[in-house]
Amino acid sequence: MIRFENVSKTYEGQTKAALLNVNIEIEKGEFVFLVGTSGSGKSTFLRLVLREHRTSKGHIMVAGKDLNRLASWRIPQMRRQIGTVFQDFRLLPNKTVAENVAFALQVIGKPRSHIRKTVPEVLELVGLEGKQDRLPDELSGGEQQRVAIARAFVNRPMILIADEPTGNLDPATSEGIMKLLDRINRTGTTVVMATHDVSIVNQMRKRVIELENGHVVRDESRGVYGYQH
């Protein structure tokens, strides 16, 4: 589903590479944790998958397509197959929960009937039934993140990318979010999640890829957060 072939990324104006010679293959339906200290390149990894940046060297294949060869006008099409969730939720403050989720479908031109059917379904899936008319301000952090996940998932993407989705949440709320991501993963969606949350990684026992200074230093199929020497 996602393949990094010898990928290096040096940001413009930087001398130090944010990613260096990364080779990774992530299969369809996998759940992958991306761990590493701050600045190790986790967000860079995810941004490259979204084609927010080009690689400096090497190739990234997403769903069989080489992102470097993708014409820029095809990028939006590619992004429709990838859902994205961030630490800061990124909701529109003047839109209700349902409108925030519907927005993702509206702007890619989905018919209204489809939107009316899908949005309540996905809100129920993320556990927000009955809260569809609230504004983001009127929700807890965990609930806001559920809205963001609903928005990321509403178009049934093949891949869900999450950059520290529990970074702003307390442990109990984080656990709920992880259950939700796990549920989404079980529908066949590939999930790649960057995190610093030790207990979550240790609990879930999923594949763990650890980055350090842009290098992959560990890749374990049922790993934990720290080194196990």
Ligand X SMILES: Nc1ncnc2c1ncn2[C@@H]1O[C@H](COP(=O)(O)OP(=O)(O)OP(=O)(O)O)[C@@H](O)[C@H]1O
Q: Which residues contribute to the site for Mg ion (CB under 5 A)? A: 43
Tokens at 208, concatenated: 């763990």
Residue 104's binding partner among ligand X, Mg ion, other proteins, none (Cβ under 5 to 8 angstroms by kind) is other proteins
90 sits near other proteins (criterion: CB under 8 A): yes
Torsion of CA 219, 39, 49, 24, to 10 degrees: -20
Q: How far is the CB of 162 from Mg ion (least distance, A)?
A: 11
Residue closest to 212 by CA, chosen among 35, 4, 16:
35
Which C-beta is closer to other proteins: that of 7 or that of 115?
115
Cα gap 133→145, rounded to integer Å: 16
Cα gap 183→186, rounded to integer Å: 5
Interface residue with ligand X among 22, 24, 42, 128 (CB under 6 A) is 42
Tokens at 119, concatenated: 């949005």
Q: How far is the CB of 135 from other proteins (least distance, A)?
A: 14
Binding region for ligand X (CB under 6 A) out of 37-45, 97-105, 108-116, 202-210: 37-45
Residue closest to 38 by CA, chosen among 229, 222, 219, 213:
213
Query: Do residues 91 and 134 lie in contact, with contact meaning Cβ atoms separated by under 8 Å?
Result: no
Name the site residues for other proteins (rule: CB under 8 A).
50, 52-53, 73, 76-82, 84, 90, 92, 103-104, 106-109, 112, 151, 155
Name the site residues for ligand X (rule: CB under 6 A).
11, 14, 18, 36, 38-44
